[in-house]
Amino acid sequence: MMPEDEKLENMLADPWLAKPHTRWPLSILFVLIALFALKPVIIDRLISRAEAYSSNSMFNNTERECEKVLFLDNANTRAWNLLGGAYKSQGDMRNAVNTYLNAINANPANKVANFRVAMIFVLENDYHRAIPHFELIRILGPESPAAIACDSFSYYRASLEMLSLCYEKTGKPDKIQDILKDLASTYPCSRKDDDMLQIQNAK
């Protein structure tokens, strides 16, 4: 058998054996560092799964994956938008509105959330609540030149068009003129469409 003095000397020579209570904290620290490094990869995986579920109308699964993402990153725009869309697709407008408003609180520049919640308000004829969200998108400005082509969807352009409707419904014709000027200056083709419509109506 090994003498007791020799055992003690061997233990003191190995800090892991001498201080076994330090193993767990260090192990936990290494795991946390690994999780932090892998966090973006994990989130991308979860988002991809949520999008796949959403495209197949598996909205309960979409909600579950989005909630996982938001647990890891509460400001994740894509997760908030997907979650709001899942609620809306199931006809749960109350949760959809609350989700989009949470998304906007996390990131006020979230054009998708602002537009979608405003559209819900429009469908409910609540134009006064819709206007601030459309106006925020207007303040954020148009997308890149490639994105604002006449044949592509633009949250900015759609918001201007919806603002025109909202101001008409709320009795603010002076606001409509400002909107039309913005549309004509940013989207020349929209001015051509308006001119053609006026010509057809005059015939």
Structural domain contains residue 175: yes
| pLDDT range class, residue 115, cuts 50, 70, 90 | very high
Looking up tokens 């495209």 gives 55
**pLDDT for res 62:** 95
Q: What angle do CA 50, 144, 162 make, to 5 degrees?
A: 75
CB-CB contact of 152 with 140 (8 Å): no
pLDDT over 90, % of the chain: 55
Burial of residue 64 (CB within 10 Å: 0-12, 13-18, 19+) is middle
pLDDT, greater one: 185 or 132: 132
| Same domain, yes or no: 151 and 202 | yes
pLDDT, greater one: 151 or 117: 117
Tokens of 63: 């909600």
| Same domain, yes or no: 150 and 195 | yes
Residue that finishes a domain, picked among 49, 74, 107? 107
| Same domain, yes or no: 130 and 86 | no
* pLDDT over 60 at 148, yes or no: no
| pLDDT range class, residue 28, cuts 50, 70, 90 | low
Q: Which residues touch 194 (CB under 8 Å, ≥6 apart)?
A: 180, 184
Measuring CA to CA, how many Å separate 187 from each of 11, 13, 195? 78, 76, 13
Structural domain contains residue 26: no
* pLDDT over 70 at 25, yes or no: no
Its domain, for residue 103, covers: 38-107
| pLDDT range class, residue 188, cuts 50, 70, 90 | confident
Looking up tokens 């796949």 gives 52
* pLDDT over 80 at 33, yes or no: no
pLDDT tens column, 50-89:
999 999 999 999 999 999 999 989 999 999 999 999 999 9
Residue-wise burial string across 110-129, b where 16 or more C-beta atoms lie within 10 A, e elsewhere: bbbbbbbbbbbbbeeeebee
The CATH number of the domain holding residue 67 is 1.25.40.10
pLDDT over 70, % of the chain: 70
Question: Which residue type does 79 have?
Answer: A
| Same domain, yes or no: 130 and 103 | no
Number of domains the chain contains: 2
Structural domain contains residue 31: no
Which of 9-18, 108-117, 166-175 bottoms out in mean pLDDT, i.e. has the lowest?
A: 9-18
Measuring CA to CA, how many Å separate 117 from each of 55, 77, 84, 106, 143? 20, 14, 9, 15, 20
| Same domain, yes or no: 74 and 133 | no
| Same domain, yes or no: 87 and 136 | no
CA contacts within 13 A on the Cβ side of 140: 22
| Same domain, yes or no: 98 and 159 | no
**pLDDT for res 143:** 80
Mean pLDDT of the residues in the chain: 80
Tokens of 135: 């106006």
* pLDDT over 90 at 192, yes or no: no
